[in-house]
Amino acid sequence: MDPIAEVRAFNRFYTEVIGVLGPGMHDSPYSLTEARVLYELGQAPAPMETGEIRRALGLDAGHLSRLLTRLEADGLVTRERAGHDARRQVVSLTGAGRETYTDLDGKSAAQVAALLDGADLPRLLSGMAAIREALGGAPRSDTVVIRPPRPGDLGWVVQRHGAIYGREQGWGADFEALVARVCADFLDHLGDPGQAGWIAEVDGRPAGCVLCVRSDQRTAQLRLLLVEPWARGRGVGARLVEECLRFAADAGYTRIRLWTRDVLTSARRIYQAAGFEVTGTEQADGFVDEIWEREIPPFTDGN
Mean pLDDT of 231-238: 90
Share of the chain above pLDDT 70, in %: 94
User: 38-45, long-range: CB within 8 Å, 24+ apart, which pairs?
Assistant: 38/71, 38/76, 38/77, 38/93, 38/97, 38/100, 38/101, 38/104, 39/101, 39/104, 39/105, 41/77, 41/91, 41/92, 41/93, 41/97, 41/101, 42/93, 42/98, 42/101, 42/102, 42/105
Model confidence at 139, pLDDT cuts 50, 70, 90, reads: low
pTM greater than 0.75: no
Residues 83-125 have pLDDT tens digits of: 777 778 899 999 999 999 999 999 888 988 888 888 888 778 7
Q: Which CATH code fits 144-295? A: 3.40.630.30
Residues 29-65 have pLDDT tens digits of: 888 899 999 999 998 888 899 988 998 888 998 999 9
Confidence (pLDDT) at 299? 52
Q: What is the mean pLDDT of the chain?
A: 89
Confidence (pLDDT) at 186? 97
- For the cut 60, the answer to whether the pLDDT of residue 189 exceeds it is yes
What ranges do the domains of the chain cover?
Answer: 3-119, 144-295
Q: Which CATH code fits 3-119? A: 1.10.10.10
Residues 69-91 have pLDDT tens digits of: 999 999 999 999 887 777 788 99
